Structure 1
Amino acid sequence: MKDASGALVPGAAVTAQNLETGTSRSTLTNETGAYRLAALPVGRYDLRVELAGFKATTQRGLVLSVGDETVLNFSLEVGTPSQELVVSSEAPIVNTTTASLGGLVNEQKLAELPLNGRNYLDLTLLQPGISQNTVVIQLGGGAGGTIYSSNGAPIISNNFLLDGTPTQNVLGYNGASVVGTTLGLDGIREYKVITNAFSAEYGMNMGSKMTIVRKGGSNQFHGDVFEYLRNRVLDARNFFDYSYGQCLASNPSDISSCKRNPPYQRNNFGGAFGGPIQKDKTFFWGVYEGLRHLKGNPVIAKGIPAACVANGTRTVAQGNPNGSDYRVTPADCGALIASPLTVNAAIRPLLALYDPADTNYTQLSRASVNFGQMRVDHNFGKGDSLFARYTIEDSDQLVPGPGFGASVYGFKEFQNAATSRSQFITLSENHIFSPTLLNTARISFSRTNPATDAVVNPSQTGQQVVGPDVSFANGLPMGLVVIGSNGTGNPNFTTMGPDFAAPNYHLQNYWSVSEDLFYTKGKHALKFGFLGNRIQIITGETVWNRGRVNFAGGLPAFLQNQPSQVFAAIPGGVERRHFRYETFGFYGQDDWRATSRLTLNLGLRYEFNTTVTESQGLQTTLRNPGAQVDVIGGPGWTSPLTVEPYMRNPSLKNFSPRVGFAYDVTGNGKTAIRSAFGLYYDVATIGSTTFGYVVGDPPYRSTSVALPPSWAPGFISANPGPYQPPFTNPGAT
């Protein structure tokens, strides 16, 4: 603050008034003429300066965004406070106070930018340094939605904060539903993505920080209602969709029944409403958004030629033209076999599942999402304010089963059903002790629970996928049949069978407590804080319970029942684990206004996590991988296992210095030079590392590989593996 001669002006009263809620905050300029109003809520403000002997000066229409630090310099004119000078020009938009890099998605962008699907997370891809990841394999819930890397950091290293509440699920990719949606656009005020050089107040992850501020009510009632409809009528046909041509070929006498496009219907609807409960005191804002989606997915799986399937599953009396029951020729099988052969009796039920009607088809996927949110803000007075917010999103969908490499989707007999429920609760209180001392306390709870199950249906031939002639484990649907590979897939044949990772669920409970203290002293803007989290992960995995049979020798090996291996989870293993750990973070930050043009950002964060433990004691570490484990307690038996936590904890050394500067080159806020250095750690990405222990962690759960001369139904039940888990399941079912 200066006067017309350029002299510093101490003792001036500076007041910021929120134009939406009527609340205000005041402070005085110090001996250097500087002032600071820390932790103001986002919104539109009028900033007024008053001092005896000078005209009152008001800056109108100042827009303060999330994470912003706006610099406004005033030049006071001699006069009386009853005289007022009104300034309506915009504040400088160049950051001249911090070294952090990032981008803001404000209300205008949210409202005006084209956003297909109304998924606000997609707008993050417009920020510099953000690159989308499109190769995540969708096995199990929690890997949907927009997934990205920030400046090359791991895709699980991004932190998503909703009013300070973490929202990412156990995998750490994002907080999207199983449908891949991030709805609730009308409930977002704005959000900022900090991609690099963030200050000491941000921790938990080394990647980007997305800080989302939800809308609150104001002194005026307002709202909106919307409905978006899309269908196939105005859509062009997918060039690679052959379903229309197939329909014409199979229905030449009724071509009107054939549609150029598969079924498609998308209804996205909802509304928002809010306003005052008590003027200038209490406000509310509520949001609902729904999605109903029906889509036809044309599927062309790489199966076995139709004649090969037909003749390999019928006798001469039933129409086999090859002179012998269940006999196929190279002509039948598209030259994939070298000479005629008779299909093995055990293989015939499996071969019947490759019927062309189950290979080329249109699957109808269905999705439903319901999003709701309510936020209430209350001002107790000029020194105290509080808000509470509850957000919930339910979703479910039915989609084709995976094809495991040869095709995106698998055969018609198999589908995936997924559900999720995400809930986020935040309670935050601001207390102003003095114009230079402010405290923010926050408690929150988030719960994410994506789950996936396999849906199985009979073949179009009537062949069941559950039964004594096809099931690998008694009573369960069949496992995977892989032709031409010893893995889960082959580029020449779509793998037959349901999703080997389903059913599964990945539940995460996330309790969080934080406190931030803001203190202004002269040229120093100090900030100190604490963040504590308690994280509970409950994971259920049934990977390979139904088993897998591989025919690496290709189609001849399959038809003659000559497997290269069989593979399955050993029955009786524990399929559910309860993991626990906590994180604790402490930081101090000083933004020092060294000169009128130079600001130094100096900070230190110390953050660590406790050792991950399994609440039922089901944890081991493999110390001697060469130990004899074929027969427990038998000759030469050496236990390779010790009962102790899965991993060591190196996080106690996680000291994170943060140093940066911002220099206003010309002094008018239009050009800045910024630079920073920092050390960053991941302490919130442990969830994704726990799956390996649930899927296969001897002796609690493990897998077995065998090399039998032939495959037989029920092989998992008949030959459960080299050893059984030597334990009971203490509460882990």
Structure 2
Amino acid sequence: MKHEFLPTHKGPFGCLCLWVFAALLCFGGAPSLHGQVLYGSIVGDVVDPTDAAVPDATVTVTHRETGASRSATTSASGSYSFPNLPSGTYDVRITKDGFRSYSRTNVVVSINAITRVDVRLTVGAVAESVLVTAEAATLQTDRAEVRAEISSRTLTYVPVFTGRNYQHLFKMLPGFTQPRNAHSIPSNPSRSLQYEVNGTVSASNNVRLDGATQYNVWLPHITAYVPALESIETVNLVTNSFDAEQGLAGGAAINVQIKSGTNELHGSFFEYHNNNKLKARPFFTPPGERNPKYIFNQFGGTLGGPIVRNKLFYFASYEGSLMREFASGLHTVPTELTRRGIMTESDRLVYDPATGNPDGTGRTPFPNNTIPPSRFEPIALRLVEQTPLPTFPERFTSNYYGAGTFTFDRHTLDTKVNYNATDRFTMYGRYSYLNFEQICARAFRTSLGEHGPWVARQFTNPGKGYGGTHSLTWAGTYVFTPTLIFDANVGVTITIQNATQQDIEKRIGLDVLGIPGTNGTRFFEGGWPRFEISGYTTIGETEGYMPYYRWDPQHNYQANLNWLKGAHDLRFGMEFSFQNLNHTQPEFYGGTQPGAGGFNFVGGVTTLRGGPASNQWNAYGQFLLGLPSSIGKIFQFPDQYNTRTSMYSLYARDRWQITRKVTLSFGSRWEYFPLPVRPDRGLERYNLATNKMHVCGVGVVPRDCGVEVSKALFAPRVGLAIRATETFVVRAGYGITNDPWNIARPMRVNHPVLMSLSISGPDAFRPSSRLRDGIPSVAPPALGNGIIDIPGHVDTNTLTDRFKRGYIQSWNFTLQRKLGPYVAQAGYVATRQNNILGFYELNYGFPGGGLASQPFMQAFGRQASTQIVGPVGNSHYDSLQVTLERPFSAGYQIYVAYTWSKCTSIAGVGNSGDGPAIKIPEYFHLNRALCGIDTPHNLQASTIYELPFGRGKRWATSGAAAAIAGGWQINALFSAYSGNPFSVGASGVSLNAPRNSQRADLVGSGPVKKLGNVGAGMAFYDWTRFASVTEARFGTAGFNILRGPGLVNLDLGILRRFDLTERLKMEFRAEAFNATNTPHFANPSNNISNLRLNPDGTFRSGVFEVTGVRNTGREGIDERMFRFGLRFSF
């Protein structure tokens, strides 16, 4: 398979990029992504005893870890500034004739932050000195953004769940949702977590590692690479009112810094272990079942030090993660009676589609609600044989307990070299690498091999996954003069992700089951077809997107110039970003059927028009008859398809110190997002007026597809910081960010690169075809003059003549006060995400109209999905965010955060790339609802506390008492969330409006009573307040009107530290995650049409049942789990 590393960048922007960075390399170092974002600053004002400015004082800052120093003189107003300082601890020394010299030690500088050191000199000889040690608690005095920092100490000691991903700690911070797992291991081998910030979609976050963007090109709502926890020095997060330098982020701009070597040799070695014996029994484990095998080991070490003292330094980290699991899960299979066509367990009739009228009226039920065996489809019978019987025959749902083996190996390497070439020029380089392999079994094991669902609770992609990630950075800074500083950086990240299912070398659909049109001749068209029966676990291939082979490089370039001019800190810069997709994957965006083909059985074919809604027995009866509601298959014509995306931006910013107490920042970004292209031509575009597909850059079709994108995307930013007193700061900021979503994702494939064949019945009551007839075959079309036909059953995504990119507004008003060793902060934080980018379906049906009512069916006989990629709605977020922080000193630290918020958006739009639940313009207002992530209350608290016993502490300072009681430390993280909203849905059969979601009817008035019951056969809400809809209309229950269970969790760690030598320390750790073993329940089931009653009319099952746990980013492990660890450090 051919992989391209760097695309060819044609046109003026490509030439400019190459010329500029050729010039930067001549400086001897170019590298990573955000100059000042990668560094910190020290600023201050120097005054005399009368509060008058002291000009021309010499200020020297010295980096304690490496000995590097820089000097400058104060301006006429007595101010000084040192931008672009590497993070770390500094000593600040100020001298001026006629005054005593002044020194402040232990001044902490963090990346993307300003540390203020204001000094009042005293009269005396220079030889006399004043020495001050910096305080741990500091105020944010010069920038108006909303920011947070997770320090190395917090990362090291606050309990972080198995896998030890730093993103788990984001939940500590105000405005963040609970981070949660997303996607399979092959698609997300770093196990990056998904989260939203301040009501914005998760795809608008941007994570940079030492400047190199970790944007996941294919899955932008997660991060491409997550470094080992032990390798991280700090994590800086900005969530509102960004500086003009920060682009491509609307929710959070997150900068992760890898540790560096210093003049002192330092390192660590560690191993952490947990297994099934250390876990409590999961809440929903069936009676009699024990905890299955589970073993997770994580081990590794770090080493850093000098190569040449004060000049050249190195750091290296390795982490290995090995998981072995006999995984299990609950699935839904038909009962013994249902398999035989005896549907007497259903409270609804199963109707014979061979009776009555074709539109579903006048049908009669099967006698005794039993389908005669003579009517069974032979292919369906073979599939029945491949479906196991229930392990819990008394249940109709979640009645099969499947288990199998799961293994996962991952190895992570992070390295970094820093070079202080001269007192003017410094640079560093970083390289990170990840390698992984996964083997995942399936739940159904039959004579035809494994098929059906995966066994692991969170890990999907059954079969084998393998690949790796490469990430590297080069960054350099050159100080022309103390007032003119240049920095540049380059970042590269490459993700390689492969997944292939079992039996892909076999053509089971075609050669074994005998279904025409399934499978194919190429390696990615083998294996099982997909058989989806509503209410049951899928038979065959559960993953419509498998197999896949992805190779996605991206590279970024940035250059910045800092100019200190009197009271103005001026900064200018540019950034170029290039992202590539190189995929072999027979999957249409949003499609469900694989390259082997698939069949859906919804249940409408065996119901009566105007009668009760269909349920799982109607769907299984339809399956036994071999009458699918729809059929489909993905045809991928080239062996590999590719896209190329580029983004360009410029910015200018002035940070003006108006007075000693007031700082004003203002600036703007200009950003340009050209239309993505393919290596040899443009994309593809469906012409809405002519029903033709335009292959852009071929024949008479222009390369840009005739689509205009804006070249006037400006993003102004402004911030004001007022130091009212030495202990009280007032800040306010406002900014606009352009939505960074890469439309190469939704436009990755289209006809004729890939054909998403989808054939449905004329309405919900008629089948698309017969199972035995299979799937029609298609041939790749000739491109000709670039304008080609598109079959009416082939899905497409397209663009309008003028693509409108969304934007995010954010603002805050914040008060911060220092209270002794504590810093308290309270702020109003708000965002407005305008024109969220996603899919807007144009070929929707109207209530009662079915297929015939779809606009493109009427115009062109086109029934397939026809979606516009563009704006789909807005979201509003308002919050009060409060924090109380005590940085570590005197043996302990405390951090408390509380968020009170409300978020409203469009139902169905939870992320970029989603679409509204109801597509019909006349009914679009019904979509307005609470966000699915809305969390009114979020309280977090964490602490690190060294017990006051032992040498150097308050009590038991010597002898046996010190040996026994000394060295103990307690670490804890407490979380409490409100539950998230959910909707009550219903069967859409009577609605008969293709591609629209149906809501239930709300019965009665007043609030719906929360019953709070948990478990199968138990209702969490009053089910009598909702009813199925049996007419051709939308239900009356609004979207997201109910709220699921909340969450309370405590993670607790106990540590004992032993001083083996003066430098070598050993720590034994015991940690309990969910220490109180409190279940964190998921939202209940929500389709009222699945309601099943007992003969006496009481509740039995089907809706409002809580049968699972919430996704809290813990790979499905919700029960209490202990972990033991041993860590050496020096």
1:500 aligned residue (544, 565, 590): 544
Distance 1:26 1:587, change over 3 A: same
User: Residue 315 of structure 1 aligns with which residue?
Assistant: none
User: Residue 480 of structure 1 aligns with which residue?
Assistant: 530
Q: Report SS of the residue matched to 1:656.
A: strand
Q: For the Cα contact (< 8 Å) 1:506–1:540, is it kept in 2?
A: yes
Q: For the Cα contact (< 8 Å) 1:540–1:576, is it kept in 2?
A: yes
**Distance (Å, rounded) in 2 between the aligned partners of 1:565 and 1:54:** 86
1:74 aligned residue (119, 130, 154): 119
How far is 1:152 from its partner?
A: 1.6
CA offset digits 1:68-109 (Å, max 9, x no partner): 101111111122222211001416611111111111011121
**Distance (Å, rounded) in 2 between the aligned partners of 1:650 and 1:618:** 14
**Distance (Å, rounded) in 1 between the aligned partners of 2:677 and 2:330:** 45
Q: Report SS of the residue matched to 1:122.
A: helix
Residue identity opposite 2:131 in structure 1: V
Q: Number of residue pairs matched?
A: 663
Distance 1:92 1:651, change over 3 A: farther
1:93 aligns with 2:153: no
Question: After the TM superposition, which residues 7-26 of structure 1 pair with which residues of structure 2 at under 5 Å, given as runs?
Answer: 7-26=52-71
User: Residue 339 of structure 1 aligns with which residue?
Assistant: 370
Question: After the TM superposition, which residues 257-406 of structure 1 pair with which residues of structure 2 at under 5 Å, given as runs?
Answer: 260-306=290-336, 329-330=342-343, 338-339=369-370, 341-342=372-373, 343-356=376-389, 359-399=400-440
Q: For the Cα contact (< 8 Å) 1:610–1:649, is it kept in 2?
A: no
**Distance (Å, rounded) in 1 between the aligned partners of 2:701 and 2:652:** 41
User: Residue 511 of structure 2 aligns with which residue?
Assistant: 467
Q: For the Cα contact (< 8 Å) 2:181–2:193, is it kept in 1?
A: no
User: Residue 324 of structure 1 aligns with which residue?
Assistant: none
Q: For the Cα contact (< 8 Å) 2:333–2:390, is it kept in 1?
A: no
TM-score, normalising length: structure 1:
0.84
User: Residue 626 of structure 2 aligns with which residue?
Assistant: 561
CA offset digits 1:437-457 (Å, max 9, x no partner): 111111221112333322349
More off after superposition, 329-338 vs 559-568: 329-338
Q: For the Cα contact (< 8 Å) 2:412–2:433, is it kept in 1?
A: yes
Q: Which structure 2 residue ranges, 5 or more long, are not aligned?
A: 1-45, 351-368, 392-399, 445-451, 588-593, 604-618, 761-766, 787-1130
**Distance (Å, rounded) in 2 between the aligned partners of 1:656 and 1:585:** 10
Q: For the Cα contact (< 8 Å) 2:93–2:103, is it kept in 1?
A: yes
How far is 1:300 from its partner?
A: 2.1
Residue identity opposite 2:495 in structure 1: T
How far is 1:712 from its partner?
A: 2.3
**Distance (Å, rounded) in 2 between the aligned partners of 1:285 and 1:647:** 51
Distance 1:376 1:16, change over 3 A: same
1:574 aligns with 2:615: no
Residue identity opposite 1:291 in structure 2: S
1:105 aligns with 2:142: no
Q: For the Cα contact (< 8 Å) 2:563–2:570, is it kept in 1?
A: yes
How far is 1:559 from its partner?
A: 1.8
1:159 aligned residue (206, 214, 218): 206
User: Residue 39 of structure 2 aligns with which residue?
Assistant: none
Question: After the TM superposition, which residues 9-88 of structure 1 pair with which residues of structure 2 at under 5 Å, given as runs?
Answer: 9-88=54-133
User: Residue 635 of structure 1 aligns with which residue?
Assistant: none
**Distance (Å, rounded) in 2 between the aligned partners of 1:457 and 1:335:** 39
Question: After the TM superposition, which residues 592-603 of structure 1 pair with which residues of structure 2 at under 5 Å, given as runs?
Answer: 592-603=656-667
Q: Report SS of the residue matched to 1:467.
A: helix
Distance 1:301 1:493, change over 3 A: same
Distance 1:133 1:720, change over 3 A: farther
User: Residue 702 of structure 1 aligns with which residue?
Assistant: 756
User: Residue 771 of structure 2 aligns with which residue?
Assistant: 711
Q: Which structure 1 residue ranges, 5 or more long, are not aligned?
A: 247-259, 313-327, 404-408, 484-489, 633-638
Distance 1:218 1:71, change over 3 A: same
**Distance (Å, rounded) in 1 between the aligned partners of 2:707 and 2:221:** 24
How far is 1:341 from its partner?
A: 2.2
Q: For the Cα contact (< 8 Å) 1:349–1:470, is it kept in 2?
A: no
Question: After the TM superposition, which residues 333-732 of structure 1 pair with which residues of structure 2 at under 5 Å, given as runs?
Answer: 338-339=369-370, 341-342=372-373, 343-356=376-389, 359-399=400-440, 410=453, 415-456=462-503, 467-469=511-513, 472-473=518-519, 476-483=526-533, 490-543=534-587, 544-553=594-603, 554-569=619-634, 571=635, 573-574=637-638, 576-617=640-681, 619-624=683-688, 627=691, 644-645=703-704, 648-666=707-725, 668=726, 670-683=727-740, 685-691=742-748, 694=749, 696-698=750-752, 700-705=754-759, 709-712=769-772, 715-716=774-775, 719-721=776-778, 724-727=780-783
Q: Report SS of the residue matched to 1:591.
A: strand
**Distance (Å, rounded) in 1 between the aligned partners of 2:349 and 2:410:** 45
**Distance (Å, rounded) in 2 between the aligned partners of 1:330 and 1:727:** 51
How far is 1:29 from its partner?
A: 0.6
Q: Report SS of the residue matched to 2:82.
A: coil
Distance 1:25 1:458, change over 3 A: closer
Distance 1:272 1:134, change over 3 A: closer
Q: For the Cα contact (< 8 Å) 1:303–1:494, is it kept in 2?
A: no
Distance 1:355 1:617, change over 3 A: same
- Percent identity of the aligned residues? 24
Q: For the Cα contact (< 8 Å) 2:718–2:734, is it kept in 1?
A: yes
**Distance (Å, rounded) in 2 between the aligned partners of 1:592 and 1:22:** 31
Distance 1:402 1:44, change over 3 A: farther
Distance 1:705 1:464, change over 3 A: closer
Distance 1:373 1:646, change over 3 A: farther
Distance 1:35 1:572, change over 3 A: closer
CA offset digits 1:336-395 (Å, max 9, x no partner): 972252143222221111023895321222111110011111111211111111011122
How far is 1:575 from its partner?
A: 5.7
Distance 1:149 1:545, change over 3 A: same
Q: For the Cα contact (< 8 Å) 2:464–2:499, is it kept in 1?
A: yes
1:173 aligns with 2:199: no
User: Residue 131 of structure 1 aligns with which residue?
Assistant: 177
**Distance (Å, rounded) in 2 between the aligned partners of 1:348 and 1:709:** 18
More off after superposition, 6-15 vs 703-712: 703-712
CA offset digits 1:25-67 (Å, max 9, x no partner): 1110111111111111100111111112211110011111111
**Distance (Å, rounded) in 2 between the aligned partners of 1:687 and 1:624:** 20
Q: For the Cα contact (< 8 Å) 2:686–2:692, is it kept in 1?
A: no
How far is 1:157 from its partner?
A: 0.8
Q: For the Cα contact (< 8 Å) 1:517–1:529, is it kept in 2?
A: yes
Distance 1:559 1:54, change over 3 A: same
Q: For the Cα contact (< 8 Å) 2:181–2:192, is it kept in 1?
A: no
Q: For the Cα contact (< 8 Å) 1:577–1:618, is it kept in 2?
A: no
**Distance (Å, rounded) in 2 between the aligned partners of 1:583 and 1:215:** 30
Q: Determine which structure has greater relative contact order: mean sequence separation of CA pairs < 8 Å that are 6+ residues apart, divided by chain length.
A: 1
**Distance (Å, rounded) in 2 between the aligned partners of 1:414 and 1:191:** 31
Q: For the Cα contact (< 8 Å) 1:102–1:127, is it kept in 2?
A: no
**Distance (Å, rounded) in 2 between the aligned partners of 1:562 and 1:18:** 74
Question: What's the Cα RMSD here?
Answer: 3.3
How far is 1:414 from its partner?
A: 8.5
User: Residue 316 of structure 1 aligns with which residue?
Assistant: none
How far is 1:189 from its partner?
A: 0.9
**Distance (Å, rounded) in 1 between the aligned partners of 2:692 and 2:78:** 77
Distance 1:590 1:32, change over 3 A: same
How far is 1:675 from its partner?
A: 1.0
CA offset digits 1:258-295 (Å, max 9, x no partner): xx210100001010001000111100000000100122
Q: Report SS of the residue matched to 1:346.
A: helix
How far is 1:420 from its partner?
A: 3.9
TM-score, normalising length: structure 2:
0.55
